[in-house]
Amino acid sequence: MGTADSTGEAERLAALLSTLKERSGLSYGALGKRLHLSASTLHRYCNGDAVPADFAPLNRFARLCRATPEELVEVHRRWILADAAREQRGKGAGGTAGGAAPAADPGTPADPPDADDTPKSPETPETQETQETQETPDSPSAPRPRPRRRLILAATAGVIAVAATAALLVGRLVDDGAGAGAGQAAGAARGPVASPEAAESPSPSPSGSASGKPSASPSPSGTPGASPGSTADGKPAAPAPTGVPFHASVRAHAWENQCSQRYLVDREPDAVRPPPVEQDAPAWVAAMGAVSADEQVVEVTLQGKGSETVVLQALHVRVVRTGEPLPWTDYGTGVGCGGGVALRTFDVDLDQGSPAARAAEGQRPFPYKISESDPEMFRVTAHTGGRDVSWYLEVEWSSGERQGVFRVDDRGRPFRTSASAGRPAYDYPPGASEWSEHQPG
């Protein structure tokens, strides 16, 4: 993807942001004050001069500008494409500036360096042996051999050969493992990445693996009698695709607005930090040991790795554990935000015996198709009124003859949501310096 493409994606995102801003009637200064961003930063976003590394600022910007659910989805889609284009441009610029040679295709050895470019050792074992063969004992000018020096040179050459072989093996292992990762290259800063507990199988029945590695290797193709790894005409066969064919980005703590989310924490108010903004929620939750109260919104973005089409067959909910609600204190993330736009593409009732992800009204159910240029974002809202539930999601996928099951969780751990009915509740009003008891209504 060239510079023109990356610039075009940023401009398309900026055009939509600018439209939302103008429609809101608010100035950059007013928006920035409410979003805790500088006016110049918002101006750069709306002009296409900058693309944020995380979607959270644009999500809050769009909601503050009263974007419709369809517009929110479109903002997220354009941000994904703009962010991917920016990363691709950065990789291209880095390779040119650093002078690094393009990486060889997987399974194809890199071209050997020209003989003229190869550093020559003053005296290698081979050349020394040739010289000694040519200089016979009858020649008075022939120097006497130096066994000790030959031994040192031979040992050095052996060490270099072993090191080169080890480096080649490590490189191949890295190349083989790179395809099995679950969405790491979708943008490191997009948010938590789905657990690499993804599995693929060339057989008709999809299977999963807790290790995150393919449960089976694609069977070699070719004509009987042909040598392994080659076709009938003797040409090397193209390597079979491996790994999950899409990137995944997960936001385990997406909010409807600054006031919508509440958390259960097993601490007294004076030991709990002030509530975070949405993009800082994962760090706050980890530091406080918090659990989502009553409801948890998870955003999953899936984007193909290449031009091949990937079919997302189904979305399943898996419950790991369920028990009585946590007897902890309920803390809110904000007060006085007013009503927001509820975007619920899939709803999960965790109190059911077998929870399922049900498409909300107006939302098309599975299957979906994705590719590199056509990502999809799924917003899953899970809720419980009387249980403490640990759960995760599974996405069934297929691409050509390959198929598998991809696990979506919170950095390798299940999501956790607990009811808060009857628990003490506290809020942190704007301008306050401490938590105060929640006032209903």
405-417: average pLDDT: 96
pLDDT given for residue 87 in this prediction: 80
Say whether pLDDT at 19 is over 90.
yes
- Lookup: tokens for 264: 């259960």
Q: How confident is the model at residue 234 (pLDDT cuts 50, 70, 90)?
A: low
Cβ pair 324, 388 in contact under 8 A: yes
Residue 28: is its pLDDT beyond 80? yes
8-state DSSP, 199: E
pLDDT at 250: 94
Q: What is the mean pLDDT of the chain?
A: 74
- As given in the structure block, the two tokens for residue 204 are 């008709």
What does the block give as tokens for 261? 């989310």
- Residues with Cβ within 8 Å of 405's Cβ and at least 6 positions away in sequence, in order, are 198, 199, 206, 207, 208, 394, 395, 396, 397
Residue pair 318/208 in contact by the 8 Å Cβ criterion: no
Q: What is the full DSSP assignment across 12-51? A: HHHHHHHHHHHHHT--HHHHHHHHT--HHHHHHHHHTS--
Give residue 30's pLDDT. Answer: 86
Using 50, 70 and 90 to split pLDDT, how confident is the model at 373?
confident
- Comparing 177 with 331, the larger pLDDT belongs to 331
What is the structure's pLDDT at 194?
A: 54
pLDDT of residue 430: 82
Q: What angle do CA 386, 388, 394 make, to 5 degrees?
A: 115
Q: Summarize pLDDT for 252-272 with one digit per residue, the tens.
A: 999 877 777 899 999 999 999
| Ramachandran angles phi, psi of 200, nearest 5° | -130, 155
Query: Residue 215: pLDDT above 90?
Result: no
- Strand segments, DSSP code E, in 225-367 are 246-254, 262-265, 291-293, 295-304, 310-323, 329-332, 346-349, 358-359
The string of DSSP codes covering 156-180 is HHHHHHHHHHHHHHHHHHHHHHHTT
What does the pLDDT look like over 89-134, one tens digit per residue?
A: 777 655 444 444 344 444 434 444 344 444 444 444 444 444 444 4
Mean pLDDT lowest among 79-83, 191-195, 249-253, 386-390: 191-195
> pLDDT confidence of 7, banded at 50, 70, 90?
confident
What average pLDDT does the segment 307-324 reach?
94
Which stretch of 198-212, 298-312, 419-433 has the lowest confidence by average pLDDT?
A: 198-212
- pLDDT for the residue 192: 47
CA angle 343, 340, 266 (to 5 degrees): 85
Q: State the greatest distance between any 2 C-alpha atoms of the chain, in Å, as a whole number.
A: 110
Q: Are 321 and 417 in contact (CB under 8 A)?
A: no
Q: Which residue has the higher pLDDT, 421 or 149?
A: 421
